[in-house]
Amino acid sequence: MPGLHPTLSLGNELNLLAAGFFLLATFGLVATRQVLDCVSVFAWQSLMLAVSAGLVASETGLTHLYAVAAITVMTKSLLIPWLLARTSSSAVVARREISQTLTVPTSLLIALGLATLAYFLAAPLEAAAPGAHVGVNLPIGLATLLIGAFTVTVRREALPQVLGILSMENGAFFAGVAIAPDLPLFAELAAAFDVLVIALVMGLLTRKLHERTGSTTVADLTELREE
Amino acid sequence: MITSLLFNVLQVLVVLVFAPLIVGINAWLRERLQSKRGPSVFQPYFDIWKLFHKDEIVSEHSTWIFRAAPYVVFVTPLFVALLIPVLTSYPLFFAFMGDMLGGGFILALGGFFVTLAAIDTANPYGPMGASRTRMVGFLAEPVFMIVFFTVSVVAGSTIPYIVQQRWVHPIGSFFDPAHVLLLIAFFMLIIAETGRLPVDNPSGHFELAMIDESKALEYSGTGAALMKWGGAMKLFVLLSIFLNVLVAPWGLASTHRLGAVLGAVPLVLAKMIVCILALVGVESSFAKLRLFRITEFLQAAFVVSVAALLIRLMES
């Protein structure tokens, strides 16, 4: 059937495109080897989230979603990457590769499996939450949530793990703007501020860790030391 | 009927004549981008002309495969050129003889013969390059398959002439994420299949690091000329599939007049030059990947193509 979706509006089409790049960025977070590249991939992912929120806003006429989009761009794609790049010590950034428990191809394949799983998991849920973009945003948000959790388990170093957690948060928001677009702005503000503080604290912690132990490999941190 | 057949033959002639030019422009642009003077864009023609006038030396230990391979390499892209839209946006005489999968099989036949010929001479470098090409090939295969699956889900067909209309009617579907992701994946495939820089260094002269080049090391004279020309035509045909079938049929002739079809030639070449600019940009900004990193490169292409398929399923 050539004409499966002949009547998609421009807003829908653009939201789909944003969703596509959002998913790509999620895969990028699993596969990118350099720390700074990871941070910029995260910035792109957040930008795509903001685009999707803005499109949902223009579709539903809810003005506070524009504010959500603006907050997302400000904090997640500008402030947090800047903070993380700033607070992490130059030694972490300069080292070329992040160590991983699985090889990149294997973890990408698992991430792909998770995305497919999310697609099948989301299918029965879509009926419960009617809305313009639920069909796309829910499975992709769910996929990002799962892949973010997977990133945290597969990466050995602190900074990429933080990015994994933040991308889980992004995934939840990506599904959230479609499922519950009339969530009060206050909740979004609180979440954005929360994430900012998390990023700052984790960034400083990684820097401190690196100064003390000479590495940010989480697996090495198994013992407490008395001073 | 007759004009349709004539245009089909014309299409093959265009591939035959302009393929070395595309390779020449590619080499020239790359050198210019790296602040070098660069060879003339017609250098591949001179090379092929020179090689045709040289003596050919064939190892006495080789078999008929070694002698047949250059001809297979030369002919297979021409067969594919019969099936795909190079100049027109309406189906020509042989359009329904085979789909994109068929074209892929024909190109693979050429690759298969080169691999056999490389092993045939028992030159130590040949089999090494051949096995590496097979490695790249079998990693690229699933990506090809998923790309074709996505195309057939979106367009309901894998006949190139039907697929190309799908992306521009309506114009909004050009920005369909399935389409955009498909293009990214196929672009990465072209890089891998034609031995471009992140995967293989086409201008390298170090045999141990070669992938694509080392298979043709044993050829001289006419054989080398045919291999070179065939390789150029393979690039041309792959770019045609990419630009005319998967990107959009813009610039192609839509009427049955000879003037319109001939007028499409410069437009198609212009499209290719734009695409080559992108290729050259990639070639000049990446270092060659280590052999086992090629897996990651093609894995990324695979993930992009599956993402295209998934998103396509979500939107329907």
Spatial contact of A116 and A133, defined as CB atoms under 8 Å apart = no
State phi, psi for B89 to the nearest 5 degrees: -100, 10
Chain A contact for B14 (CB, 8 A cutoff): no
Q: Are the Cβ atoms of B304 and A24 closer than 8 angstroms?
A: yes
Range name among A21-35, B111-125, B250-264 with the lowest pLDDT average: B250-264
Range name among A46-50, A172-176, B169-173 with the lowest pLDDT average: B169-173
Chain A contact for B304 (CB, 8 A cutoff): yes
In 3D space, the residue among B77, B85, B73 whose CA is nearest the CA of residue B11 turns out to be B85
Cis peptide before B170 (omega within 30 of 0): yes
Sequence-ordered alpha helix ranges (H) in B156-257: 160-166, 177-193, 221-240
Percent of chain A with pLDDT over 90: 11
Per-residue pLDDT reduced to its tens digit, B63-118:
899 989 999 999 999 999 888 888 888 888 777 888 888 888 898 898 899 889 88
Q: How close is the nearest chain A Cα to the Cα of B165, in Å?
A: 10
Q: Are the Cβ atoms of A31 and B300 closer than 8 angstroms?
A: yes
Q: What angle do CA B205, B207, B211 make, to 5 degrees?
A: 95
Tokens of A149: 């959790």
pLDDT of residue A187: 73
Chain A contact for B311 (CB, 8 A cutoff): yes
pLDDT of residue A3: 40
Which chain A residue is nearest to residue B166, measuring alpha carbons? A2
Between chain A and chain B, the number of residue pairs with CB atoms below 8 A apart is: 82
Q: Are the Cβ atoms of A16 and B155 closer than 8 angstroms?
A: no
Helix (H, G, I), strand (E, B) or coil at A100: strand
Contact list in B for residue A142 (CB cut-off 8 A) is none
Per-residue pLDDT reduced to its tens digit, A177-207:
888 777 777 777 777 777 777 877 777 777 7
Strand partners, B253: B88
Q: How close is the nearest chain B Cα to the Cα of A63, in Å?
A: 26
pLDDT of residue A91: 62
Task: With cut-offs at 50, 70 and 90, classify the pLDDT of residue A4.
Answer: very low
- Burial tier of B273 (Cβ tally within 10 Å: 0-12, 13-18, 19+): middle
Q: What is the overall mean pLDDT for chain A? A: 80
Per-residue pLDDT reduced to its tens digit, A71-120:
888 888 888 888 877 777 666 666 666 777 788 888 888 999 999 999 88
CA distances from B17 to B76, B264, B265 (A): 15, 15, 11
pLDDT of residue A6: 47
Residues of A (31-90) whose Cβ lies below 8 Å from B: 31
User: Nearest Cβ partner of A115 from B156, B166, B310?
Assistant: B310
Chain B contact for A139 (CB, 8 A cutoff): yes
Q: Tell me the domain boundaries of chain A.
A: 12-212
Domain span at B305? 2-315
Cβ neighbors of B17 (< 8 A, separation 6 or more) are none
Q: What angle do CA B186, B188, B190 make, to 5 degrees?
A: 70
CA distances from B2 to B83, B156, B258 (A): 17, 29, 12
What is the distance between the alpha carbons of residues B239 and B270, in angstroms, rounded to a whole number? Answer: 12
pLDDT of residue A93: 63
Residue with tokens 């313009």: A132
Task: With cut-offs at 50, 70 and 90, classify the pLDDT of residue A132.
Answer: low
CA distances from B237 to B49, B81, B201, B307 (A): 22, 7, 21, 26
Spatial contact of B182 and B174, defined as CB atoms under 8 Å apart = no
User: Nearest Cβ partner of B172 from A2, A10, A115?
Assistant: A10
Helix (H, G, I), strand (E, B) or coil at B54: coil
